[in-house]
């Protein structure tokens, strides 16, 4: 979680608009992919760089430019000037520690969201920042590019002309991308739900240190997800209700659907958080319970054997004048007494429901 | 609870509007029942399928089409096209993991609610999704169909012409269905209330591991109910205050009543949640209390017998020169001393109010 | 608390407007009292039934009809038709498990509130539902009639012409009734405050199981009061701010005062709830504290006597070659050693501040 | 805290506007002081009673009438009629258990606030009700008069013509009084802060029963302050934003300042409350910690000496055929074994970091 | 934290507008630095005092006057009268215990914020009050001057003409100062995040008293930060949305960015607070866990050795008639029995999963 901050802290003192990539991925190639499509045609290519700008004046197609990898500041600033992006937008695209947000710059809409994936190596949920810029005729997307391209399924749908995506405009493309990201949250949430269910069974069967540690880890994950998903609600809502001319009414119906899904995800997450909080309470109560049991065993043992040992000690004393020692039935008698005492103790515990 | 998610997660990557039934009931027949009525007549039939569409142009009756079972995607899409439903609506009808919601598509209103039932086998509350589509002249209802038809009582009222239901329009029918569902919540809540009351008695009389487990289970149920009932408030409110032409003012008075009932249910649920939280606190305090008692017993026993055993040990030593051993009254004297020590200890405990 | 639900659950499946009395009082006579007054005259009578309706057309007096006992459904429906009450209103009057609410039916205002009384037999606060219907010239009140007539003081004020009540209209009468009910809450709250104060003293002096049970019971009561008083705020507020023509500006000033009192009651209740929550924390901490003390006693005793008993055991061994046993000063020496060990242990505990 | 309620409860059943003084101070003289001033002159006197009313028609001065002591109901009602106060206002002035509030009666504004003082005898914060009535040309203040006159500093400023107070109107005087009261809250809060700081040091150095009791007491005080200060925010806000003609824009800037101070006080109080809640958590954790330490000591002692005592017991048995007893080196050997066992145990504890 | 209060409490009773410096830094020189700049030129100087006022009538440059050190009341009042500041503003500048706030005095805007720094000596976060006054052509800043000048980086940017700062007006300068302060919060937050991460590792590896104390300290810091950062949101929001003519639309885009950063900081802080709360829960559970382990060790030892010691005690008794003592195989037999008992106990513990 701390890594989020490092970027921001690193930049303290720099003028606003400074292009500093604050993410972790610094190497590897930056890949730029271009798709232009309309209902009848689709053109796809990998761009080597951004040497010339596009002209959208007379185009009827929708253009989708996707940039994978953000560490080439020169390239970014060239893209920025090509599309006329505000310096703060470019800065935000590169600062991969943004809170999800939506901003309306008359010429285009700027949306920051976060893509989640479960890193099974460290058993933690990780996030990657995705910036989407939407205008009348184009969509720009910027990914950090950790986990391969998350938009492959959208690309496939475009190529195969599935659903209505090719028939609609750039706003519908932006919606589809958002929808893909939010659908992915449910994959993460389902996984989390399964871990919680497992944990719950363990909690009831055999709570131990590991259970505690797992509850702690899951709470950390839930907190992380919360920071990612909650602000999205606001983002999608602004997107849906905004009066930007780039978004058609037909698409708004779909965006409303994404909004509902986001609410559903938040709902689920909050339920998980409550369940985890409840589990910690149960854990603490179980521990307390168990301590009680342990102490009862100890107390029972001590209460039975301490008096008996004392008695044995008494007849182990070496006084010269101890008449009992000479009685013929002294030894069996003392055994009798001891057994009676022991049974009486057990009966007393039984009455107290300790056994 | 996790099952809710699986549906959504399964669909990640599919285009919106894909008809995938995400519920669990996959087999059995789908039954379609049709009722057409007005104040003077009622026509009822079971439809074998959806081969032809209805025409509502010149009808004066109210048509209620109820579909039990959602796993026949073909049938669903035919119904969808007959009634001109938006693809997202059809998708939502089939995704049985929806959050209760209300949407106004100019031609019809779409409402998703959840019907609750207590499954005594697993001792958990279960939910079933019910979709209601209301237009000027018809009401469509879609049920998963787990627990028989939940609207039997409404059907009986229609047949027997009880109350004002036959005299009023489709909106009043939709209200009646909603009212039936919300009334049913109170059955579930009452049941829950009884379990809480039982638990409370047990908590005071004899708290144990089972009590803890039951508190945990009830909290899980309460959390589940919460997810079901809370969003309903918003749904009924939108329904009541919406300016849809399909809802008459006369019906709005009744809808306001359903709204009050929903608030009442939420109120009750929140009270239960607070009671359960309070019970856990009491449980923990009881355990702590009991541990104290156990430890007191142990401490009393140990404090009395340890010094005595020590004394007995002393006179069990084999030193050659131990004058006490030879005294004639040594043995009775040591008994005296031991008894005095024991009584003194008991008195000390009495003074500390440990006995 | 569960009883509240039973009524609602019992009615699941019935058409709306069904007159089913859900309260507990089923027997005894229903008493109907009538008061008609203006500034100069007052007419009072007990009605045997509701054989004829009233006509208010040319009356200048204020009419107050009070019904004590709700189990005569016929009578209720006759009253309903006399005064032109909506079926849902009549249903709500009889369902004595209503949440306090305010509704404006153009011809009259309908208010549901709850009267509290402390039932010292079961040591719990109980509630009784009071329905008030206010129109231009009359006030109808419906009580379950458990605890005698709660409005005796108002009746007395009317008869004796105390204050301005006779000079003002039906709205002022309704205000007076509300004011009486809210004032009564303070009696209940004061009682609760006294029980909390007592409990607090006990908590500090000598916390025990009974303290815990009393905290639990008081929290239950506070929860119950909360459900009763919180919604009242909304009710009084709607009443005060509503634009009903039945309420004059002069009366609104007084209603504002009732509103302030309601806020004050809520404030006090929330303070109590916080105090009770705090007391549970203190209880748990006290228990933990006390356990510490008990364990210290045990540890001190064990730490002193275990080594000594061991030593005594050593010199009780029967080895043939144990030179110490033969020393003349062996026995006094071992006593010395034991005493030194004991004192050293005590000193160590002293240093650790355990003594 | 309960005393607050008693007043209200005592009045249940009385008609509104009944003049019953609900405070505790019933004796002593009521003192009425009058100050009339403008920029150039100041007239000050003690009134013996309220025999005649004032006329403000042609006065250019500001009149400040301060009443110390509220138990003379006759006097109060004469003042009420002189200044044309609404019966409910007079009732509220005398009911010294009011929640701070602001009311605009066209002819005057009525403000209730509470003055705090720390009563070092019972180590609790106490409150006194202050009513302020502001009109165009006069300010009325009513105090219970427990703690001397709290407005002495304002009086001094008036006499010495310090600051701008003499140059401005009645609204500025009312502001000054409010400001004095709010400033006084900071004295109380500072004192509280010091007690919390002391407690915090003790909590870390040596938490004990007294610490617990002090935390409890401070939480009680914080709860009390909260009830006093929170509603003030609303009061000052209404006062500042109200559109009363009695308040000039120049004064509003100053009132905004009082509002900021109130927010600051609330902020501080909430911080204190969080600190106290945190301290209780720490206390509980400390206790748990300490118990662990105690138990470790006990366990170490028992684990070392129980096996050794057992061994000594074995060689204290009186079997005839125990070869070890006859070995020449048996006794030193058993000592060796015991020492080795003891050291091994210690080493095991060391490894587990218990030592 | 208490120091915040002292200032306010010290001033109780003084007239508003009294210039009392409530901060701690009382000595050292007050330094006044002046920068005047436009796109093409920059003039910088240290002023010895404030002997003459500035005239802004015909100036085209932006003037930035920064005052380091607030304890010279005379100087402050001269500055106040030069720039026509309201007495309350001057008072607030000197009261270094202000809550961050924004006020619009038609002629200028007044902003109070707090600069944070981590004082590694006492291991606590400290704050310093910064007042910013913004008008059309000038910016005034007042610092307490503890930690050197925090605006050095801004000054450097001005001198070197980096970014667009020289090309824009006074509002952009104010924005830059705000941005510098907020960016600095992230440095503090990152530091805090690192301490939390360290603590988390320790909590899982080896929770002890020190861990508890550190959690407590961090919670205190988080509470302190909260009081500083939360109100800033409101301040920046008012600043951004205010309709002051001093703020251009171009600058508002940048202010919106500062607002986003503030939200981000709040978000992070709240996450930290939740993490710390979760850590305390885990700590308590760990302690409980550990106690369980300790008690198990004790119980196992006691349960094994108490019966054995008892047996040894029995055969240490001195009865004359104890046949077993004379059996030839008595001694080995009793060893056998003891070993069997011991192993049986161990097996029982194994079955209970205590080992």
Q: How far apart are CA A80 and CA A102, in angstroms?
A: 18
Helix or strand (DSSP H, E) at E81: helix E73-83
Please report which confidence band the pLDDT of residue C185 belongs to, taking 50, 70 and 90 as the band edges.
Answer: very high
Partners for C (CB, 8 Å, 3+ pairs)? B, D
* Residue numbers of chain B with a pLDDT score lower than 50: 1-4
Instruction: List, for residues B252-285, the tens digit of each pLDDT value.
Output: 989 999 999 999 999 999 999 999 999 998 998 8
Instruction: Give me the residue from E16, E219, E327 closest to D179, CB to CB.
Output: E16
What confidence score (pLDDT) does residue C261 get?
92
Number of Cα atoms under 13 Å in the Cβ half of residue B107: 5
Mean pLDDT of D85-97: 88
Q: With a cut of 70, say whether residue A8 has pLDDT above it.
A: no
Is the pTM higher than 0.90? The answer reads: no
Nearest alpha-carbon partner for A63 in A100, A108, A98, A113: A108
What confidence score (pLDDT) does residue D323 get?
86
Q: How many CB atoms lie within 10 A of CB A241?
A: 13
What confidence score (pLDDT) does residue D134 get?
93
Q: What distance in Å separates residue E147's CA from the closest CA in chain A?
A: 16
Instruction: List, for residues A223-258, the tens digit of each pLDDT value.
Output: 999 999 999 999 999 888 878 888 998 899 899 999
User: With contact defined as beta carbons under 8 Å apart, do D22 and D97 qualify?
Assistant: yes
Residue whose token pair is 């405070």: D23
Question: Most C CBs within 10 Å: which of D102, D216, D325, as the mutation test of the C interface?
Answer: D216
Instruction: Give me the residue from E280, E283, E298 closest to D299, CB to CB.
Output: E298
Which region among C95-104, D146-155, D191-200, E119-128 has the lowest average model confidence (pLDDT)? D146-155
Q: How far apart are CA B312 and CA A319, in angstroms?
A: 11
The chain C residue lying nearest B158, using CA atoms, is C15
Instruction: Give me the residue from A11, A290, A312 closest to E183, CB to CB.
Output: A11
What confidence score (pLDDT) does residue C27 get?
66
Q: Cβ of C321 and D328 within 8 Å?
A: yes
Q: Cβ of E303 and A308 within 8 Å?
A: no
Mean pLDDT of A84-102: 89
Mean pLDDT of D235-241: 89
The chain E residue lying nearest D322, using CA atoms, is E331
The chain C residue lying nearest D282, using CA atoms, is C285
Mean pLDDT of C324-339: 88
**Token output for A177:** 């991308």
Mean pLDDT of E299-303: 89
Q: With a cut of 70, say whether residue E37 has pLDDT above it.
A: yes
Q: With a cut of 80, say whether residue C235 has pLDDT above it.
A: yes
Instruction: List, for residues E60-78, the tens digit of each pLDDT value.
Output: 899 999 998 888 888 888 9
User: What is the second-level CATH architecture of the domain A2-285?
Assistant: 2-Layer Sandwich (3.30)
Instruction: List, for residues E236-254, the tens digit of each pLDDT value.
Output: 998 888 788 889 988 998 9
Q: How far apart are CA D292 and CA A291, in angstroms?
A: 12
Domain spans of chain E, in order of start:
2-285, 291-351
Cα dihedral: D172, D177, D181, D183 (round 10): 50
Helix or strand (DSSP H, E) at B142: strand B138-143
Instruction: Give me the residue from D99, D294, D302 closest to C306, CB to CB.
Output: D302
Q: Which CATH class is domain E291-351?
A: mainly alpha
Mean pLDDT of C290-311: 89
What confidence score (pLDDT) does residue B134 get?
93
Q: Which CATH class is domain A294-351?
A: mainly alpha
CATH code for the part of the protein at B292-351: 1.20.58.340
Shared fold status for E2-285 and E291-351: no
Average pLDDT over all residues of chain E: 86
Helix or strand (DSSP H, E) at C140: strand C138-143
Q: Cβ of B325 and A322 within 8 Å?
A: no
Average pLDDT over all residues of chain C: 86
Q: Is the dihedral of CA D202, D207, D209, D212 positive or negative?
A: positive
The chain A residue lying nearest E289, using CA atoms, is A287
Chain C residues touching residue B310 (CB < 8 angstroms): 305, 308-309, 312
Q: Cβ of D186 and E291 within 8 Å?
A: no
Please report which confidence band the pLDDT of residue A3 belongs to, taking 50, 70 and 90 as the band edges.
Answer: very low
Q: In what order do the strands lie in the sheet with A101-105?
A: A42-47, A31-37, A62-68, A138-143, A124-134, A108-119, A101-105
Q: In this structure, which topology does domain D290-351 adopt according to CATH?
A: Methane Monooxygenase Hydroxylase; Chain G, domain 1 (1.20.58)
The chain D residue lying nearest E210, using CA atoms, is D204
Q: Cβ of B103 and A190 within 8 Å?
A: no
Residue D320 carries which DSSP code? S
Q: With a cut of 50, say whether residue C2 has pLDDT above it.
A: no
Mean pLDDT of D131-146: 89
What confidence score (pLDDT) does residue B26 get?
63
Chain E residues touching residue A295 (CB < 8 angstroms): 295, 299
Q: With a cut of 70, say whether residue E7 has pLDDT above it.
A: no
User: With contact defined as beta carbons under 8 Å apart, do C44 and C159 qualify?
Assistant: yes
Q: How far apart are CA C257 and CA D328, in angstroms?
A: 100
Give rounded-to-5 percent helix, strand, coil for chain A.
55, 15, 30
Q: Cβ of D292 and E297 within 8 Å?
A: no
What confidence score (pLDDT) does residue A132 get?
94
User: With contact defined as beta carbons under 8 Å apart, do D238 and D101 qualify?
Assistant: no
Q: With a cut of 90, say whether residue D73 has pLDDT above it.
A: no
Cα distances (angstroms) measured from residue C159 to each of C137, C150, C162, C171: 18, 16, 8, 18
Q: How far apart are CA C64 and CA C173, in angstroms?
A: 8
The chain C residue lying nearest D215, using CA atoms, is C282
Q: Cβ of D318 and E315 within 8 Å?
A: yes
Please report which confidence band the pLDDT of residue C1 belongs to, taking 50, 70 and 90 as the band edges.
Answer: very low
> How many CB pairs below 8 Å do chains D and E form together?
165
Q: How far apart are CA C342 and CA D304, in angstroms?
A: 17
Q: With a cut of 70, say whether residue A9 has pLDDT above it.
A: no
What confidence score (pLDDT) does residue E271 get?
93
Q: Is the dihedral of CA A7, A11, A15, A21 positive or negative?
A: negative
Chain B residues touching residue A297 (CB < 8 angstroms): none
ipTM of the complex: 0.82
Q: Which residue has the higher pLDDT, C112 or E118?
A: C112
Q: What distance in Å separates residue C193's CA from the closest CA in chain D?
A: 6
Cα distances (angstroms) measured from residue D43 to each of D57, D61, D65, D176, E147: 18, 10, 12, 19, 52
Q: Which residues contact D239 (CB under 8 A, 6 or more apart)?
A: D102, D109, D111, D178, D247, D255
Please report which confidence band the pLDDT of residue C3 belongs to, taking 50, 70 and 90 as the band edges.
Answer: very low
Q: With a cut of 60, say whether residue A19 has pLDDT above it.
A: yes
Chain B residues touching residue A256 (CB < 8 angstroms): 103
Which region among A92-96, C137-141, E261-265 has the lowest average model confidence (pLDDT)? A92-96
Please report which confidence band the pLDDT of residue D320 belongs to, taking 50, 70 and 90 as the band edges.
Answer: confident
Q: How far apart are CA B155 and CA A337, in angstroms?
A: 79
């Amino acid at each position: 979680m701390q890594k989020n901050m490092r970027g921001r802290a690193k930049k303290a003192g720099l003028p606003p608009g400074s292009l500093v990539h604050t993410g972790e991925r610094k190497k590897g190639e930056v890949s730029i992919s271009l798709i232009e499509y309309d209902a009848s045609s689709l053109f796809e290519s990998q761009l080597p760089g951004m040497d010339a700008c596009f002209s959208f004046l007379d185009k009827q197609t929708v253009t989708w430019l996707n940039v994978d990898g953000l560490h080439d500041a020169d390239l970014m600033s060239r893209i920025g000037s090509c599309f006329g992006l505000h310096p703060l937008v470019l800065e935000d695209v590169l600062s991969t520690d943004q809170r999800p947000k939506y901003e309306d710059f008359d010429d285009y809409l700027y949306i920051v969201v976060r893509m989640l994936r479960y890193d099974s190596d460290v058993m933690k949920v990780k996030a990657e920042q995705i910036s989407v810029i939407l205008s009348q005729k184009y969509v720009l997307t910027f990914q950090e590019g950790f986990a391969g391209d998350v938009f492959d399924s959208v690309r496939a749908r475009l190529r195969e002309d599935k659903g209505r995506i090719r028939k609609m405009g750039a706003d519908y493309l932006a919606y589809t991308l958002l929808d893909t990201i939010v659908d992915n949250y449910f994959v993460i949430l389902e996984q989390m739900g399964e871990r919680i269910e497992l944990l719950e069974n363990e909690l009831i069967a055999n709570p131990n240190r590991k259970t505690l540690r797992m509850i702690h880890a899951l709470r950390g994950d839930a907190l992380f997800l919360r920071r990612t998903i909650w602000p999205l609600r606001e983002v999608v809502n602004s997107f849906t209700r905004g009066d930007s001319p780039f978004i058609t009414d037909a698409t708004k119906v779909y965006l409303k659907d994404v909004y509902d899904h986001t609410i559903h995800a938040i709902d689920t997450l909050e339920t998980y958080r409550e369940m985890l909080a409840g589990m910690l309470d149960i854990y603490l109560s179980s521990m307390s319970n168990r301590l009680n049991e342990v102490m009862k065993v100890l107390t029972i043992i001590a209460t039975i054997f301490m008096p008996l040992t004392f008695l044995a000690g008494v007849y182990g004393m070496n006084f010269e004048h101890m008449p009992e020692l000479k009685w013929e039935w002294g030894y069996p008698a003392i055994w009798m007494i001891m057994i009676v005492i022991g049974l009486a103790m057990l009966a007393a515990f039984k009455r107290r429901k300790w056994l």
